[in-house]
Structure 1
Amino acid sequence: MIKKCALAMGLVAGLSISMAATAESPEQWYADGQATLKAALAMQPNTRRAKNVILFVGDGMGISTVTATRIFDGQSRGETGEENRLAWEQLPYVALSKTYNTNLQTPDSAGTMSAMMTGVKTDYGVISVNQHVQKGNCNSSKGNAVVTLLEQAEDAGLATGIVSTARITHATPAATYAHAASRDWESDADLPAAAKAQGCKDIASQLMDFSHGDGVDVVLGGGRRNFLPVQSVDPEYPDQTGVRTDGRDLIAQWLRTKGSAFVWSGEQLSDLVSQGKTSKILGLFSPSHMAFDADRMSEPHVEPSLGDMTEAAIGVLQQRGAGYFLMVEAGRIDLAHHAGNAARALAEGQALNEAVARALAMVDLNETLVIVTADHSHVFTIGGNHAVRGNPVLGFVYEPNADGRPRTEPTLAKDGRPYTVLGYNNGKGFAARKGLAERWAQAPTAGRHVTVKTDTTQLNYHQESLVPLDYETHAAEDVAIYAGGPWAHLFHQTHEQNYIYHVMRHALGLDSQAVNKR
């Protein structure tokens, strides 16, 4: 993927950027606008009850990330990129979501996903409990848990599934099924002594002890170590063990349910799905987070892609016939951004695009509500002083000459050095392998050190940042909501993030339990 994109960028840098433009004309632009208007005028809201709901969450996928992913995806095929459309951009309804937590202007994933899953905004760092809970205080969470849409779906007899490229006990997937005063309590080894004494349960055990309906049907992601005891050797890495200190083997517990299966590699998942004989699948493909999509094929045992997991989940859930709720998270967009590594972040966005496309090919939007959104954004920018059409999105900025044609050399900043289209407000900068203190101590002079010979398109490049931090941070602006299917038209303005739950619940025809306490 990255290699193909680099080739395309080489062509763009060579100023052959007119591939898409050759088919353009003033007449075509006008005709396209009229055709889009005609299609919009013909749209009719779908008000039938949704049989299924699929919620896609691009963790950290702000609007700038969507734009850059669109261009990256197009350029990976040799196109200029700007004219490209991602799979979710073809859904008919778009709105904005306000992402703040009840106590943070710039949110975290725990509070934002809890809002989407419960219909109630809450503090940062807590999992599907209300804002009366003090983070890390077990006793404060008692009586303040808030029912989730997945729990309601199970109680209503629907099939349910959770897919993530992060640990399945990480904040976003955890908020679908668990309730905790701290997102950090992923295994019992993470629980403070006080929390254990007060009876709080870790997130992994809550998934296995899930009491709604007949339990979650499909769980696919990372985080195997949180389900195995310390005395158990990891099935893929013999030098690693589980982390649980309570002696519980949660994978063995899963397998005690009739019709259940466990897999830990992409090949095993493919074989299992092809047999079509299981109704419950637990797939844990890494001890921690799954590999970045750009690195996935180099893993000792190739992990399934997000598209593979999404397709497998839908296939199993459809077998039940009664309808389903599925949450799919592209969890590593966020982690690549935290590293200030745009190449991997955009490759993760492209993997999400594939997953959404494969889902849309499997479902009928007349009966399935599909939502694609983000929990929050990042301090990630896409710009440059009038960068030309088809400018390599991972490359330096090329300005046009006075006649509007691209220059043959990258634009230089006031310090005489080139700069990239993509950047971060804060983070690691270009310190790919050195700690910040070491980097700043060794820097011969203050200022930037990038040159025209720097290969900014390579996978391990860390875009420059303004404020030096150990890692890049979340941002506070709104994120987009894209939707199609029954009741998708209810996304129509700038919404509070917890509104997403209310639309999903209404579309499925579930009774309101948004503020019921457990």
Structure 2
Amino acid sequence: MKTIVCTSLALALTGSVAFAQDALPQASSQWYKDGEAAIQAILDRQPNTNRAKNVILLIADGNGVGTNYATRLFDGQQKGMLGEENVLPYETPEFYSALVKTYNINAQTPDSAPTAGSMNTGVKQRFNLINLGEEAIHDDCSTVEGNQLALFSEMMTEAGKSVGVVSTARLTHATPAAVYAKTANRNWEDAVPEGCTAQKDIATQLIDAMEAGTVDFAMGGGGRYFLPKDKEMGGLKGRREDNVDLVERATGLGAQFASDTAGFQSLKLDGSSPVLALFNNSHMEYEADRADNDEPSLADMTKAAIEYLSKNEGGYYLEIEAGRVDHANHDGNAARAMRDGVAFAEAVAIADELTNDEDTLIIVTADHEHAIAFNGYCGRGSAILGLCYDVAQVGIKHSDKVLTADDGKPYTVIGYLNGTGSVLKKGEGENDYTGSRPDLDQETATDLDYVQQALIPKSSETHSGEDVAVYAKGPWAHLVDGTIEQNVIFHVMNHAVNAQ
């Protein structure tokens, strides 16, 4: 009897709630209306089960949930918003989303090499290795043979598709290298240890891949690893000890080459010949420091890559990396990390604009997060790169009162758990660290070069092991759901291009 009564009551309540929706006192609130619209957008979303002709994997290195949150606010505040209400291009209902577990086989806190490798092979890998099986050992060349993994780029080449890789980091750096390289040490960018015959250095592997037709378009930084030691060319200066000129080898294979914006603008993007572009000796400039006449933006390179690769009627695979979000976080410099995060969002927007949802799977994600943290209790609209202001009792924007810690000093919204901004300073002894927080004002905190305060002293801030987000739209994007292992991203891409 009790069950029957409870069920009847539940049905009655359900009916009354449905009947009284328009009469709810909150029904006129914009929050309520926006909530209803959000639900409707999700209800209207229909799974796309077409076979994917093209796949674009966009990775903002180090852009975990926390860093992405900061970028969202920074972008919104640059547009004149309070910031919290802002929506980045990949955060709309058109994109399916999930959380991603980023650990490596042998590491709780991941490294970019095996995280990017997992997305390009479908299996998790070991710390500091790229695209080798779990029996391979870091720094041990003898374990390379027999442990090389098949790459998504190789599979796409066999399927008749073109392949491109774009990065604001060195093209030989971990994430872009995961498209084409297999190595027992991610740092073997221009040389391998003496006696190591099982693999070549990463730069040579890129040109080998171009010769084999596995990579058709490669654009980013890292020119020093492609030129002989001390050779200067187009603003680049080589440092290869073996004196091999990989740029000369690439152009000898028919590749077009560019090293500055003028060269970039003169490239023929008709798909008739491979493209190799190296815009900096090392990593490309931070977006905040980039001069338009020196280097193209990430959005510019994305546009060029899609224009070039789309000439192949059979389709393409393109990996795009915003590599310097990671580097700015390592420096504890949130201001540059946020600006590169916005540049990444612009690249996502242009990739979406230039492609068709019906035949192109777009996946937006990060390889890992950083030890970034957020202080409270800040009022709405507190500058994400500035000081934490108190919550106002009236209105929605923060009050004019700067919050202080128990030491009586202000603090910023963003901090890091470790890094060069540590408030602990080295004393005279080897392990002698003492200190207190310096005083702080808004002008100092919002300076482009400001290094956020941190706790633990480290010469370089570290990654963290927490989840990152993944967003997807296009064919089979609905497979991105729940909480997944990072290597599952490969399987979504692989299923999409092979769907019947």
Common topology (TM > 0.5): yes
| Residue number in structure 2 paired with 1:288 | 282
Query: How do 1:28-47 and structure 2 match up within 5 A?
Result: 28-47=30-49
Aligned to 2:296, the other structure's residue is in SS state: coil
Once the 2 structures are TM-superposed, how far is the Cα of residue 276 of structure 1 from its aligned partner?
4.5
Aligned to 1:369, the other structure's residue is in SS state: strand
Q: Distance in 2 between matches of 1:319 and 1:440?
A: 63
Q: Distance in 2 between matches of 1:92 and 1:215?
A: 29
Aligned to 1:492, the other structure's residue is in SS state: coil
Q: Does 1:322 align with 2:311?
A: no
| Residue number in structure 2 paired with 1:85 | 87
Once the 2 structures are TM-superposed, how far is the Cα of residue 25 of structure 1 from its aligned partner?
9.5
Q: How many residues of Structure 1 are paired with residues of Structure 2 in the alignment? A: 472
Q: Deviations over 1:345-377 (max 9, x none)?
A: 000100000101111110001110000001000
Once the 2 structures are TM-superposed, how far is the Cα of residue 445 of structure 1 from its aligned partner?
7.3
Q: Does 1:471 align with 2:466?
A: no
Q: Distance in 1 between matches of 2:249 and 2:499?
A: 30
Looking at CA atoms only, which structure, 1 or 2, has the larger radius of gyration? Answer: 2
Aligned to 1:357, the other structure's residue is in SS state: helix
| Residue number in structure 2 paired with 1:11 | none
Q: Does 1:399 align with 2:390?
A: yes
Q: Does 1:104 align with 2:107?
A: yes
Asked if the contact 1:152–1:510 (Cα under 8 Å) also holds between the matched residues in 2, the reply is: no
Q: Distance in 2 between matches of 1:128 and 1:256?
A: 28
Asked if the contact 2:84–2:380 (Cα under 8 Å) also holds between the matched residues in 1, the reply is: yes
Give the 3 Å change call, closer, same or farther, for CA 463–250 of structure 1 in structure 2. same
Q: Deviations over 1:211-231 (max 9, x none)?
A: 786231110000001111115
Q: Distance in 2 between matches of 1:129 and 1:383?
A: 40
Unpaired runs of at least 5, structure 1:
1-23, 512-518
Deviates more, 1:452-461 or 1:175-184: 452-461
Give the 3 Å change call, closer, same or farther, for CA 439–313 of structure 1 in structure 2. farther
Displaced runs of 4 or more, over 4 A: 275-278, 401-405, 435-441
Asked if the contact 1:219–1:283 (Cα under 8 Å) also holds between the matched residues in 2, the reply is: yes
| Residue number in structure 2 paired with 1:446 | 435
| Residue number in structure 1 paired with 2:256 | 261
Give the 3 Å change call, closer, same or farther, for CA 444–495 of structure 1 in structure 2. closer
Once the 2 structures are TM-superposed, how far is the Cα of residue 248 of structure 1 from its aligned partner?
1.6
| Residue number in structure 1 paired with 2:12 | none
Q: Deviations over 1:430-483 (max 9, x none)?
A: 79xxx9648999x99721002336521110000000111111100001100100
Asked if the contact 1:148–1:177 (Cα under 8 Å) also holds between the matched residues in 2, the reply is: yes
- The one of 296, 299, 305 equivalent to 2:297 is 305
Asked if the contact 1:69–1:349 (Cα under 8 Å) also holds between the matched residues in 2, the reply is: yes
Asked if the contact 2:425–2:434 (Cα under 8 Å) also holds between the matched residues in 1, the reply is: no
Q: Distance in 1 between matches of 2:249 and 2:477?
A: 38
Q: Distance in 1 between matches of 2:346 and 2:68?
A: 14
Partner amino acid for 1:49? R
| Residue number in structure 2 paired with 1:207 | 206
Partner amino acid for 1:201? K
Once the 2 structures are TM-superposed, how far is the Cα of residue 247 of structure 1 from its aligned partner?
2.5
Asked if the contact 2:427–2:434 (Cα under 8 Å) also holds between the matched residues in 1, the reply is: no
Q: Does 1:193 align with 2:184?
A: no
Partner amino acid for 1:486? P
Give the 3 Å change call, closer, same or farther, for CA 48–277 of structure 1 in structure 2. closer
- The one of 497, 500, 504 equivalent to 2:489 is 500
Give the 3 Å change call, closer, same or farther, for CA 408–211 of structure 1 in structure 2. closer
Give the 3 Å change call, closer, same or farther, for CA 217–25 of structure 1 in structure 2. farther
Q: Distance in 1 between matches of 2:208 and 2:234?
A: 23
Asked if the contact 1:225–1:234 (Cα under 8 Å) also holds between the matched residues in 2, the reply is: no
Q: Does 1:251 align with 2:247?
A: yes
| Residue number in structure 1 paired with 2:57 | 55
Asked if the contact 2:144–2:198 (Cα under 8 Å) also holds between the matched residues in 1, the reply is: no
Aligned to 2:68, the other structure's residue is in SS state: helix
What is the TM-score when the length of structure 2 is the normalising length? Answer: 0.90
Q: Distance in 1 between matches of 2:425 and 2:170?
A: 27
Once the 2 structures are TM-superposed, how far is the Cα of residue 131 of structure 1 from its aligned partner?
1.3
Unpaired runs of at least 5, structure 2:
1-25
Q: Distance in 2 between matches of 1:215 and 1:150?
A: 6
Give the 3 Å change call, closer, same or farther, for CA 510–255 of structure 1 in structure 2. farther
Partner amino acid for 1:296? R
Query: How do 1:79-478 and structure 2 match up within 5 A?
Result: 79-90=81-92, 91-188=94-191, 191-195=192-196, 198-210=197-209, 214-236=213-235, 241-258=237-254, 260-273=255-268, 276=270, 278-297=272-291, 302-385=294-377, 387-403=378-394, 406-429=398-421, 437=426, 446-452=435-441, 455-478=444-467
Deviates more, 1:330-339 or 1:262-271: 262-271
Deviates more, 1:498-507 or 1:289-298: 289-298
Once the 2 structures are TM-superposed, how far is the Cα of residue 151 of structure 1 from its aligned partner?
1.2
Once the 2 structures are TM-superposed, how far is the Cα of residue 42 of structure 1 from its aligned partner?
1.7
**Percent identity between the aligned chains?**
45
CA root-mean-square deviation: 2.4
